């Protein structure tokens, strides 16, 4: 799947700045519609290191009602978590009906970093895929909207970004040795990602691959994917879509800096 992604897609910054406010307002309206209809939404951010997930996630949630969404930054399991079934800690983070949860990394780390870095045994890998399928199917059957985004960049682009971050005294803290270790295993991760996309691209929880070479393009693509999936979910449940009431305004200083 990754080889068919056009990584050269781009968008002028002027076009991005023109589209962004409308998309932010539309997503906010859909958040309120889901809240009122009691529809829970899960958004998964996966992708390469330095692919722009942080900035896209920040922008996506910038205008949302903070009372109705939570961001979970997933780290490796700790102490007591290692003594529980591996999906237990994710069940604890599932949003309530009508709310939204954003996962920065997710249960998919088990079949990616677990496969490439810790050499998860084949039988455990197959079991993890089975668990993920059951997990997402149970959520979808209960009315959850599952949106999965994978940010894709080339190995060359990743190296360029890591070097740029590392050479800047204000951002070099963001680059850790494990980022370069994963970069050097790019081809191994491609194989793991391809299998992940193939085995977990279900009708109720499909993947959207975000070409992330151009930041402006990637951020708009995130909005469009999330909005499309939520609108489809509302319509499938017989809910009326909120009207488009966007009125173009003069950009604020905050908007100019985004």
Residue 123 lies in a domain: yes
Q: What is the pLDDT of residues 99-139, one digit of tens each?
A: 999 999 999 999 999 999 988 999 999 999 999 999 999 99
Q: What is the pLDDT of residues 175-226, one digit of tens each?
A: 999 999 999 999 999 999 999 999 999 999 999 999 999 999 999 999 999 9
Average pLDDT, the chain: 94
The CATH number that applies at residue 110 is 3.40.50.300
- Whether 54 shows a pLDDT value over 80: the answer reads yes
How far is 193 from 173, CA to CA, in rounded Å? 27
List the Cα angle 36/40/33 in 5-degree steps.
30
In whole angstroms, what separates CA 206 from the centre of its chain? Answer: 12
Residue 132 lies in a domain: yes
Residue 167 lies in a domain: yes
Check residue 251 and give its pLDDT: 59
Residue 243 lies in a domain: no
In the chain, % of residues over pLDDT 70: 96
Give, in order, the Cα–Cα distances in Å from 98 to each of 58, 168, 201, 246.
21, 42, 24, 23
Q: Which residues of 60-76 are buried (b: 16+ CB within 10 A; e: fewer)?
A: bbeebeeebbeebebee
Residue 257 lies in a domain: no
Number of domains in the chain: 1
Q: What is the pLDDT of residues 129-188, one digit of tens each?
A: 999 999 999 999 999 999 999 999 999 999 999 999 999 999 999 999 999 999 999 999
Partners of 42 in the β-ladder: 101, 146
Residues spanned by the domain of 42: 2-236
Confidence of residue 252 (pLDDT cuts 50, 70, 90): low
CA dihedral 98, 147, 111, 219 (to 10 degrees): -120
Contact 226, 57 (CB under 8 A): no
How far is 182 from 120, CA to CA, in rounded Å? 16
Q: Which of 55, 106, 61 shows the shortest CA–CA distance to 214? A: 55
Q: Which two tokens stand for residue 34?
A: 């889901």
């Amino acid at each position: 799947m990754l080889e068919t992604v056009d990584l050269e897609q781009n968008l002028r910054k002027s076009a991005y700045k023109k589209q962004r406010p409308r998309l932010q307002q539309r997503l906010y309206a859909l958040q309120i519609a889901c809240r009122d209809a009691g529809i829970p939404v899960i958004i998964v951010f996966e992708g390469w290191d330095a692919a722009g997930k942080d900035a896209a996630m920040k922008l996506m949630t910038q205008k949302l009602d903070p009372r109705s969404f939570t961001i979970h930054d997933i780290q490796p399991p700790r102490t007591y978590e290692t003594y529980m079934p591996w999906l237990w800690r994710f069940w604890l983070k599932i949003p309530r009906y009508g709310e939204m949860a954003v996962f920065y990394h997710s249960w998919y780390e088990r079949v990616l970093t677990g496969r490439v870095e810790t050499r998860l045994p084949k039988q455990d890998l197959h079991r993890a895929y089975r668990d993920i399928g059951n997990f997402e199917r149970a959520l979808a059957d209960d009315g959850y909207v599952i949106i999965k985004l994978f940010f894709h960049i080339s190995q060359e682009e990743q190296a360029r970004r890591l070097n740029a971050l590392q050479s800047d005294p204000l951002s070099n803290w963001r680059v850790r040795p494990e980022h370069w270790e994963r970069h050097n295993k790019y081809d191994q991760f491609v194989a793991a990602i391809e299998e992940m996309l193939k085995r977990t691209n279900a009708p109720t929880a499909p993947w959207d691959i975000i070409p992330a070479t151009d930041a402006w393009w990637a951020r708009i693509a995130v909005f469009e994917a999330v909005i499309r999936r939520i609108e489809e979910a509302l319509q499938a449940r017989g809910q009326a879509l909120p009207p488009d009431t966007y009125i173009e305004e003069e950009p604020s200083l905050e908007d100019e800096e985004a």
